[in-house]
Structure 1
Amino acid sequence: MSINSFGHMLRLTTWGESHGPAIGCVVDGCPPGLELDEPWVQRFLDARRPGTSKNVSPRQEPDRVRILSGTYEGRTTGTPIAMMIDNVDARSADYSNLPPRPGHADAAYDAKYGFRDPRGGGRASARETAMRVAGGAVARLVIPEVNIAAAVVEIGGEQDESRWEEMLDEARSGSDSLGAIIECVATGVPIGWGAPIYAKLDAELAAACMGINAVKGVEIGEGFAAGRARGSESMEAKKASGIDGGISTGKAIVVRVAFKPTSSIGIGGRHDPCVGIRGAPVVEAMVALVLADHKLLHRGQCG
């Protein structure tokens, strides 16, 4: 069994590989009548795409999205929304003789399937996340009351932005890479989204962000710091992070996501010296998908 779909009522399915002819997604369960066009989706894809600076992968992909179904005259119809992006700058020869890369999914894919697509990591590549961003653009239309904003807050263990450029230059020149931490804040989430026990809002946000390629840790609110705090401290509103008992409280929701350093260092191919730099739009997308899904779940049960 292969799991390539995500969500309950609003469901995202992605398909395609890093060096295949195209990548794409299907968003099912979107309410009808919402204004949706390609420029709306493109604005979020442009924030994630490679080739925009020396600190990200030099792969030149315009990531031009096409909406193939699910809209009529600029509005959603309630039917599945299919979107596709052509891969135009794949260089598969760069990967033809590479051994399995430590820390990457190469060996794990071989062990599971007995066969893998070695070109650029296949489905394990960060290329797949473009379609999560496209799906997140649709999800944002479902939750216009919510504002979602993410940013890099740490690179290579350093929170001082003034040092990041120097650190990245040093890592890149030494064929090395750096990890990063993204912080995402969602405001305007009403009280009541999420469900007790098996569909807690914080648990589903954590699972969604943990499923992003290269992510190794997720914190909600104070996260592990709460485990080191006193009860009188942890009950402060800021530490609750807008979720109690798995249900939103109306306060801001804060999610922090840790991206590991890129595994593909000192070898052929084109890679991000810090993949987390392009992680903020992906984290925003996953948070949007979860919140939109839970808005629809809440509406379905509670009206």
Structure 2
Amino acid sequence: MNNSLGEVFRITSFGESHGDCVGIVIDGCPAGLPIHIDEIQREADKRKSSRNRPLATGRREADKVEVFSGVFNGFTTGAPICLAIWNRDIDSSEYEKIKNVFRPGHADFTAYEKYGGFNDWRGSGRFSGRITAGFVMAGAIAKKLLATIGIDVIGHTIEIGGVKSSPPQRIASIRAAMATNEVSCADPAAADAMIELIKAAAKDHDSLGGVIEARAEGLPPGLGEPVFDTLEGCLSKAYFAIPAVKGVEFGAGFSVSRLKGSEDNDAFSVVGGKIVTTTNNHGGILGGISSGMPLVARLAVKPTPSIGKLQRTVDAETREPTSIAVGGRHDTCIVPRAAAVAESMTAIVLADFALRAGKISRVLK
């Protein structure tokens, strides 16, 4: 397994869904960054399940963040930062019943083949969305770093079950609007429709997918290391580490295949002495390098594969066909919680590139 991401700002993820804890080690964070545990906790709370989220998993973890190293007297020390949360609300009984049966849509079969059956199957182990709790903790540090050079990042829901939102285009407006509902959507009318769809899918023992948009404002031009460490390439790698993400696009994305060059090209202009583009079909990245325009990425999230409907599968021991209806505690739609993870992954990659480019000092004063 490769459980690390980044070159200078480097994170290493650890833990399993039903193990003792999940967490993250951050290496390369500059010394002198003021950080309070409440700031990290706030990011962790965006991702966790709660009674207010429509038909989220019944697993209710407190997700209380603990800092084990790298922070002293309210500042980062330059040493590796170790952050963890404990797994307390664990019930592996439903997984025990089906440990030899491959759940459709899950990594059960591929993990079984790769690791010879030694992988932790409880709650999907390392392949669970639970491990993303570490991502959002690291994201809190990354966002605080980026704020020192004026970069702001957000992740929000723009589609669930085919219902599309019409969100504002600026981060401040998106943040204010999405705070009014529990699906992390910046369009209140669309959010209401999404909630009703999620409820209907749950009643039918089914699930829904959707689309998350990640945005960043205030990026300086020049971030990215072509040809193999392009900005969109490294962001995509981070996004695909989020369980259930099956597609990523930037700017106009796949729609550019239906445009002419005269329609897709973003014309350059000068505003206040700064070179900008009049449109942003490129999503803030040209040639793998940030252009200084807002970064815009969209992530396609598949429906939660754990559903109560009867599905055909195979028994790992007998190699005989069988069927399964997945029990236990699962989200009907993971998109609202995953939006916070997409936001954090964006911040983690941008912090790494900003440090690589020398935009952020290795010691902050």
Provide TM-score, normalisation by structure 2. Answer: 0.80
Partner of 1:174: 204
1:46 to partner: Cα distance: 0.5
Partner of 2:238: 208
Superposed counterparts of 1:89-108, under 5 Å: 89-98=89-98, 99-108=101-110
Q: Secondary structure at the match of 1:143?
A: helix
d(CA) in 1 for partners of 2:339 and 2:191? 16
Partner of 1:288: 347
Do 1:120 and 1:269's aligned partners in 2 also have CA atoms closer than 8 Å? no
d(CA) in 2 for partners of 1:228 and 1:210? 25
Partner of 2:229: 199
Partner of 2:63: 63
Q: Secondary structure at the match of 1:68?
A: strand
**Unpaired segments ≥5 residues, structure 2:** 165-189, 267-278, 309-325
1:241 to partner: Cα distance: 1.2
Q: Which amino acid aligns with 2:244?
A: A
Partner of 1:51: 50
1:117 to partner: Cα distance: 1.4
Kindly provide the CA deviation profile for residues 266-298 of structure 1, in whole angstroms up to 9, marking residues without a partner as x: 121100100112111100010000100000111
1:134 aligns with 2:137: yes
Q: In the comparison of the two structures, how many residue pairs are matched? A: 302
Partner of 1:78: 78
1:180 to partner: Cα distance: 1.1
d(CA) in 1 for partners of 2:257 and 2:232? 16
d(CA) in 2 for partners of 1:281 and 1:163? 21
d(CA) in 2 for partners of 1:229 and 1:203? 23
Kindly provide the CA deviation profile for residues 151-198 of structure 1, in whole angstroms up to 9, marking residues without a partner as x: 111001221433212211110011100001001110001111112211
1:51 to partner: Cα distance: 2.8
Q: Secondary structure at the match of 1:239?
A: coil
1:140 to partner: Cα distance: 1.1
Greater helix share, structure number: 1
Do 1:217 and 1:257's aligned partners in 2 also have CA atoms closer than 8 Å? yes
Superposed counterparts of 1:152-163, under 5 Å: 152-159=157-164, 160-163=190-193
Partner of 1:245: 287
Provide TM-score, normalisation by structure 1. Answer: 0.96
**Unpaired segments ≥5 residues, structure 1:** none
Q: Which amino acid aligns with 1:295?
A: A
Q: Secondary structure at the match of 1:218?
A: strand
1:232 to partner: Cα distance: 0.8
Partner of 2:156: 151
Q: 1:163 to 1:200 in 2, by over 3 A?
A: same
1:112 aligns with 2:114: yes
1:272 aligns with 2:331: yes
1:49 to partner: Cα distance: 0.2
d(CA) in 2 for partners of 1:16 and 1:35? 27
Partner of 1:183: 213
Partner of 1:262: 304
